[in-house]
């Protein structure tokens, strides 16, 4: 089956049911009890500096673990699994001195996700599985100063962020992902650089792939870290005509719900949500149990406000299994019809009919 045929099946499946994304990668990798040697492997055994904790590197040094986690999430009922490439950009990998390994990390991460998706599709042809290329946030921001004494200070330029995402997108595309997932967005300008990188790649002849954009509301204010409301964020990225728009991370399902409901009201595309397993406790751990997460997300499904559900920090294959069971048989959200208007965004949304 060609990639475009697979994408057509993804879009058809989204019309028929609520799709399920996988859960947290960080929590599952931490449970492996890996050593510095696992992260280094043979290729990086003499690399300067500590590599333990660089989870994306495991796509190259411990592909068996990454393949196993894809299988665990697909077995739990996920329709879509992300590549293990959340921080696989030259900017993020500079913390480890691994800029030169970025292409290989992304390519191998995409390949492992795609092979797992193809393997599970072959097992269950009536339930195709899909690989999403994860493009996470950066440790620098274009919208906010890096120096409290200089509002105009930035550690990077737009072009540098664009080039970092461009290399990641190209490698994920070459590795075979079915769609791009630009996720955990705290800075909309960083997101715009990622979007431009993907669209330019396609304009220059690469096979077009769907784009899924997922922002992060950082606290009870209902805004991203760069200060936008949910509606302003949507207005800022709508030009990309994404396959899906949504929110993930930061808040658990209880606190995320009103913001997902708002997206459901305004977005003329699929709405996706993959919240954390509640809020972290004093030790940074997540206590929300699978049935608790599933109970809240089941209400979202019954209310008709979502098309895609999954999990972020603290969620496991067991969480995803419960969510998949809770969403089964419930119809996906129907896209709203909104009147034609000029819709703009700064920190707040602006609409002129």
Distance between CA atoms of 233 and 231, rounded to whole angstroms? 5
313 is in an annotated binding site: yes
Is beta strand 349-352 parallel, antiparallel or unpaired with respect to 342-345? antiparallel
249 is in an annotated binding site: yes
Sign of CA dihedral 86, 134, 172, 124: positive
**Which two structure tokens, joined as six digits, stand for 188?**
């909309």
Going through the chain in order, the beta strands assigned E by DSSP cover 19-20, 80-82, 130-135, 179-185, 211-215, 244-252, 270-276, 308-309, 342-345, 349-352
Residue 352 CA: distances (Å) to CA of 33, 231, 237, 339: 55, 14, 18, 11
Phi, psi for residue 274 in degrees, rounded to 5: -135, 90
Which string of b and e fits 98-132 if b means at least 16 CB within 10 Å?
beebbbbbbbbbbbbbbbbbbebbeeeeeebbbbb
Nearest in space to 79 (alpha carbons), one of 112, 109, 120: 120
Residue 300 CA: distances (Å) to CA of 15, 30, 144, 295, 296: 17, 30, 33, 9, 7
Element (H, E) at 28: helix 26-30
Residue 40 CA: distances (Å) to CA of 30, 67, 97: 16, 18, 13
295 is in an annotated binding site: no
**Coil/strand/helix, residue 71:** helix
Distance between CA atoms of 278 and 285, rounded to whole angstroms? 10
Binding residue numbers: 249, 312-313
Binding residue numbers for Zn(2+): 249, 312-313
């Amino acid at each position: 089956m060609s990639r475009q045929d697979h994408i057509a099946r993804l879009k058809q499946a989204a019309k028929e049911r609520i799709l399920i994304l996988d859960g947290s990668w960080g929590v599952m990798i931490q449970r492996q009890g890996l050593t510095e040697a696992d992260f280094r492997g043979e290729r990086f055994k003499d690399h300067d500096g500590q590599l333990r904790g660089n989870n994306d590197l495991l796509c190259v040094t411990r592909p068996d673990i990454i393949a196993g986690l894809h299988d665990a999430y697909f077995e739990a009922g996920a329709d879509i699994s992300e590549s293990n490439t959340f921080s696989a950009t030259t900017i993020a990998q500079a913390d480890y001195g691994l800029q030169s390994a970025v292409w290989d990390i992304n390519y191998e991460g995409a390949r492992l996700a795609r092979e797992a998706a193809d393997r599970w599709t072959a097992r269950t042809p009536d339930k195709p599985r899909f690989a999403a290329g994860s493009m996470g946030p950066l440790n620098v921001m274009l919208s906010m100063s890096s120096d409290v004494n200089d509002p105009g200070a930035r550690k990077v330029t737009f072009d540098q962020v664009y080039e970092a995402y461009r290399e990641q997108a190209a490698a994920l595309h070459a590795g075979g992902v079915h769609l791009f997932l630009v996720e955990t967005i705290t800075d909309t300008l960083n997101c715009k650089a990622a979007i431009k990188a993907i669209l330019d790649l396609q304009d220059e002849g690469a096979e077009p792939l769907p784009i899924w954009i997922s922002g992060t509301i950082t606290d009870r204010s209902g805004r991203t870290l760069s200060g936008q409301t949910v509606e302003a964020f949507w207005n800022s990225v709508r030009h990309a005509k994404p396959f899906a728009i949504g929110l993930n991370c930061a808040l658990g399902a209880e606190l995320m719900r009103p913001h997902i409901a708002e997206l459901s009201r305004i977005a003329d595309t699929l709405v996706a949500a993959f919240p954390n397993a509640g809020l972290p406790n004093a030790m940074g751990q997540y206590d929300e149990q699978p049935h608790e997460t599933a109970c809240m997300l089941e209400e979202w499904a019954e209310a008709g406000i979502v098309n895609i559900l999954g999990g972020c920090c603290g969620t496991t294959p067991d969480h995803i299994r419960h969510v998949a069971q809770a969403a089964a048989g419930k119809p996906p959200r129907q896209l709203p019809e909104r009147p034609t208007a000029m819709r703009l965004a700064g920190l707040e949304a602006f609409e002129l009919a």
